[in-house]
Amino acid sequence: MEYEQPEVADDRIELLRAYGYGLCMGAADALPGVSGGTVALLLGFYGRLIAAVTALTPRRAIAVLRAYRPERRARAREALLEMDLQFLVPLGVGMVTSVVLIAEIVSSLAESHPIAVFGFFTGLIAASAITLGRSLEFSSPAHVGAAVVGATLALLVAADIVQLPGGGPVVIVVAGAIAVSAMILPGISGSLILILLGQYIFLSDELSEFVRAGADLLGGGSLAAVVDPGTTVVLFVAGGVVGLVTIARVVRAALARNRELTLVFLVSLIAGSVPAPLHNIAEEHAWTTETIALTAAWAAVGAVALFALEYLVGGFDPE
């Protein structure tokens, strides 16, 4: 799969559209249950996202940094367009905006109404798998095998089979790489991955402490209070960058080599992630008849919402 980048970099409509995509991806990644990669697939900019991320190379970055020399400015502009920063920058700003504005609200709702929130997510993910899977063919043993592998991997994570102990530097980097890769691999969100890996509370506390210490520092607080949580944040971000760029390249190569097989695997990740939000409900409620009925009702609402969105936009394309 190849994506042709637009030649015009200053189209305000395109910038606003990319910012809107970022808002949607940020909201998804802030929710324990929905992946930013899923949103990219549903809204049809997955190919562009992969192309832009894989275009971020040291060679192009150096070319941009050399723009202070007049004779190198033409090459710097070419590098900027090749990296598709006119798409990635507003996308990133939209994601940060969304996380800041929505994450706390969603977390509060998830804590006060877990059945409604995570039941809704379950229906949303299930309907996403159905809408994306309609256009795929399972015409060979290879396609069936890819579907089984993708669904099984997602189910293993959702079932809490894989878990990282402790919070050492290596674990933090690995958790960052896995969690941030949710931007590229459709399925469960990075926040839910952190929950399943046993790192969500630890990393959330470290981030909160870093923000508080940073605010105190501006008011004359201690620099030492920033160092420990700041180190954790830096390690997590470093792991995230490595995971994001690496997995993006793997996905792009796989799509170029065998598009149909790769898309079957990616959509199967979404299908296997359907039970993941139920893990959060089980932590707060026993599976009584009432709990099951309420969860099913909210799952139906989520599914209807997704199918309605599919109808309004004229269908989703897993690209």
Q: Tell me the HSE value of 239 on the side-chain side, using a 13 A CA sphere.
A: 21
- Please tell me which residue, 161 or 258, carries the higher pLDDT value: 258
Residue 313 has a pLDDT of 57
Tell me: the pLDDT tens digits for 93-150?
A: 998 788 767 766 766 777 788 899 889 888 888 888 888 788 788 878 999 999 999 8
Token digits of residue 41 = 């697939």
Question: What confidence tens digit (pLDDT) does each residue in 220-251 have?
Answer: 777 888 888 889 889 988 988 888 778 777 87
Residues in the chain: 319
pLDDT tens sequence across 25-78: 887 777 655 678 778 877 888 888 888 888 888 888 888 888 888 888 888 888
Confidence of residue 301 (pLDDT cuts 50, 70, 90): very high
Q: How far is CA 142 from CA 114, 185, 225, 261, in A?
A: 38, 20, 54, 7
Question: Which pLDDT belongs to residue 189?
Answer: 64
